[in-house]
Structure formats: C-alpha cells, structure tokens
Amino acid sequence: MLERRVVLDRISPDGKWVTLAKILPDPIGGPCPGFICVGRSIPYLFIRPAGPGKLETVARAVATVGWWRGRLMIDQQKSLEEGQSICVLRINTDFHCARNVAVDPIRDLWGPAGSPNGRYIAAAAAPRPGPNETTTKLDGYIALYSSGTAQLVRNLTHGQHDSYPTWSPDGSLIAFNRGHSIYVIHADGSDAGRPRLLVRSGIQPTWGA
C-alpha cells in the first residue's frame, strides 16, 4: 500500500524532532514538478517529536529535506522554467518558505545539509533536465553554498553520482554517497575534489556525536 510507505528522513541537530516522508494519495491533484509521482500519489513531508507527540504536515511534493540551525530546509521549484533551489521554512510546521539559502543558475539542488556553524549549505547539484527530458536527477556534484547569500561558494566534488551530504560535528568534513559507496571530503576544499572512500556499500551516511 502506497500510503504506508514511510521514510525516516532527518533527525534535528538537538535530537528533539524527526521528519518523515510519506507517499500518499494526493487530494490536491496539482502538478508534481521535478518528482516521479506514482499514479495519483505524491511525497508529503511530516514532522513529529522524537518522543511521543503529534504528527504534523510540513509540505507537499518534497523529495529531500535538511536542517539548518534548528529549522527545516526543503527543495522547491517555483515554476517549470526555474531550477530546483533550497529554502528554509518560516516555521517548521509551515508550508511557506522564509527565504532561499541555496540557488544555482544552471543546476537543480537536492538533499541539503546545514553546517554546524550555520554559514554553509551543502547540497547535491544535479544537471538540469533539458526541455525534452522527463528524467530528473537527484545526484551530481556536492557543492557548497553560502546560507547568507544563497550563492555558490565552491564545488567540493566532481562526480556525477554524488548525493546525501552530511557534515561532521566539527564542520571540517562532509560524508556523502557516490553511487552505492560512501566517501568523505574536507569542507574547505583542501583535498581538491579528491574524496576518500570510507565504505564500498552503503547509503545516506550520518555522523555520530
């Protein structure tokens, strides 16, 4: 049953909140830009306390989510002509974006992760589909953006299948997926785009304390 498909997306930095993505029948029936919808079902994002508590709806048609200074970030596409950007929500139980924190003029952005000091957003920067293409990629380079200006700071990797960046607690390293393997790279770019292999088989890495 599609309505029972649940994915644990992200735990907040303070460990108090959990986001959940569910594939549900869509009561709105609107467009699903940039996503692979299943029939008339679409991804919805929810948030709930890590302990007992109420599940609340956050957003419709969201493929990836991340945390920035205790606030949720989501991917958004304002129109079919514009690319996929990353915005921070006004409040964590609100559908509305407060502002963009990562924008790329030529690529779509997915899977955001805020740095521990809040200055940067790491995201997967994927090639934007052409006018006649129907497939949307959620992987590409791992790129760094300024959370203050939303502009590109640097490309950290030069792969074409990199995704799911996650910061080390001290903000010096970023682990990510390359295909079905896990790599790590310095966030300051000091290793010149040459990541180090950690695990040959794994997905969606995360860091312990």
Whether residue 175 is predicted with pLDDT greater than 90 in this model: the reply is yes
- Determine the pLDDT at residue 138: 79
Assigned domain for 126 exists: yes
Q: Which two tokens stand for residue 97?
A: 């974006």
Assigned domain for 146 exists: yes
Strand partners, 66: 73
Question: Per the structure, how many domains does the chain have?
Answer: 1
- Determine the pLDDT at residue 125: 95
Kind and range of the H or E run holding 73: strand 71-76
Whether residue 34 is predicted with pLDDT greater than 70 in this model: the reply is no
Assigned domain for 163 exists: yes
Whether residue 75 is predicted with pLDDT greater than 70 in this model: the reply is yes
Assigned domain for 205 exists: no
Assigned domain for 206 exists: no
**Nearest CA to 115 among 82, 78, 142?**
142
d(CA 80, CA 87): 17
CATH number, domain containing residue 46: 2.120.10.30
Place of tokens 């001290």: 170
Q: Which two tokens stand for residue 93?
A: 């139980």
Instruction: End-to-end CA distance of the chain: give it in Å, rounded.
Output: 36
Res. 147 pLDDT band, cuts 50 70 90: very high
For 49, 61, 115, the CA distances from 68, given in Å and listed in that order, are 17, 20, 7
Assigned domain for 208 exists: no
Query: What mean pLDDT is reported for the chain?
Result: 84
- Determine the pLDDT at residue 122: 98
- Determine the pLDDT at residue 176: 95
Domain that holds residue 186: 2-199
- Decide: pTM greater than 0.75: yes
